[in-house]
Amino acid sequence: MNNKNPAAFLLLVLLLPPGIGSTEKGTLTLTVEKGQSVTIPCFYRTCSTCSKQLCRENKTFYCHQKSVRSWRNIEDDPTQGVFTVPLKNLQEGDSGMYMCLLHHSGLFKKPELVYNIRVTSDTPGLSVKDNTVEAELGGSVTVLCFYSDVYSKREKGWCRAGMRGSCVKTRSTEASSGRATLKVDPTAGVFRVTLRDLEKEDTGWYWCSAGDLKFPFHIKVSEKRSSK
């Protein structure tokens, strides 16, 4: 979709029926190092039959779907209520506002989740080297969340996307809750998030956070590989 009149486009962004929308809301700022890749999660409650789109606002609105060459790897997971868009080899010109949109019966759902993506040649404020990881059932997984000096004294944390009460946060060097542990290494500018005794239900999207920044990462829990 390419509309040269943003105002006209906004008039088309109408509310869909109740129950169709995002489980995450607001504007999230992601800082990504130039040349790196990131997978963007877009959350929704229902509407598995909706058309899912990631739209960039850059004077005009440009929506990316499977039919667009560089965005053809969009994946939809109705069970988790999320569709994902991989953004690869990001350059500074890719910086901008990206909106998760649902389209159903001729109507657009007003975007509730907007990503402000900033591609930089400097050290990102917050980042995850690989934001999709896989681990075995019953095992553990550790994700490294890197932060710049600007956020060294800010609160660090992680949460499961869309799940209230799941956050583990600290202003010191360590915090834990249930099977989750967060350890901060101020010297290296990184905090480690570890989830133990993994269950199938742990598969899903999570957030690293430092101050007002968030960065998404996905954990996939797989069956144990049989030894030969």
Q: To the nearest whole percent, how much of the chain has pLDDT over 90?
A: 47
pTM: 0.78
- The 10 Å CB-count burial string (b at 16+, else e) for 32-53 is bbeebebbbbbbbeebeebebb
Same domain for 116 and 132, yes or no, is: no
Q: Is the residue at 227 inside a domain?
A: no
Number of domains in the chain: 2
Q: Is the residue at 101 inside a domain?
A: yes
CATH number, domain containing residue 181 = 2.60.40.10
Same domain for 209 and 114, yes or no, is: no
Distance CA 176, CA 183 (A): 9
pLDDT above 50 (res 42): yes
**What residue numbers bound the domain in which 60 lies?**
2-120
pLDDT above 50 (res 67): no
- Give the model confidence (pLDDT) of 76-130 as tens digits: 888 888 889 888 899 999 998 888 888 777 776 666 788 999 999 998 999 997 7
